Amino acid sequence: MQIPEDALTNHVVTICLQGGATLGPFNATWSKDKGGDVRELSREYDRFLQGGEQKRFKFHLHDTYSNSVHTLIVDFRQITGIYDHIQLSS
């Protein structure tokens, strides 16, 4: 199944921290037309895990369900995992 790049995707993001605490879950929506850093958060963290330096610390997750924005300021050194559940829209 191929999804067009401009398709709307609904994410539910949970961030696991060292020591067992979690942040979230956060509802977030992304499409080519609607901004937000939900995809960039996962991509940046993946680069960090592969040995890259963290370049961004602030991410904005746009929640269309509640018409709000979650602003996350995170230090990847304190994160043990990011769970991104994606619901695909047709």
Q: So where are the chain's domains? A: 9-88
Question: Is the confidence at residue 14, as pLDDT, over 80?
Answer: yes
Q: Please tell me what DSSP assigns to residue 53.
A: P
User: Which region among 5-9, 35-39, 47-51, 66-70 has the lowest average model confidence (pLDDT)?
Assistant: 5-9
Can you give the pLDDT at residue 55? 95
**φ/ψ of residue 49, rounded to 5:** -65, -25
Can you give the pLDDT at residue 5? 55
Question: Is the confidence at residue 41, as pLDDT, over 80?
Answer: yes
- E-assigned strands of 18-67? 22-30, 58-63
Sign of CA dihedral 85, 76, 54, 61: positive
Can you give the pLDDT at residue 24? 94
Helix or strand (DSSP H, E) at 79:
strand 79-88
**φ/ψ of residue 26, rounded to 5:** -115, 130
Question: Is the confidence at residue 13, as pLDDT, over 50?
Answer: yes
Under DSSP, is residue 71 helix (H, G, I), strand (E, B) or coil? strand
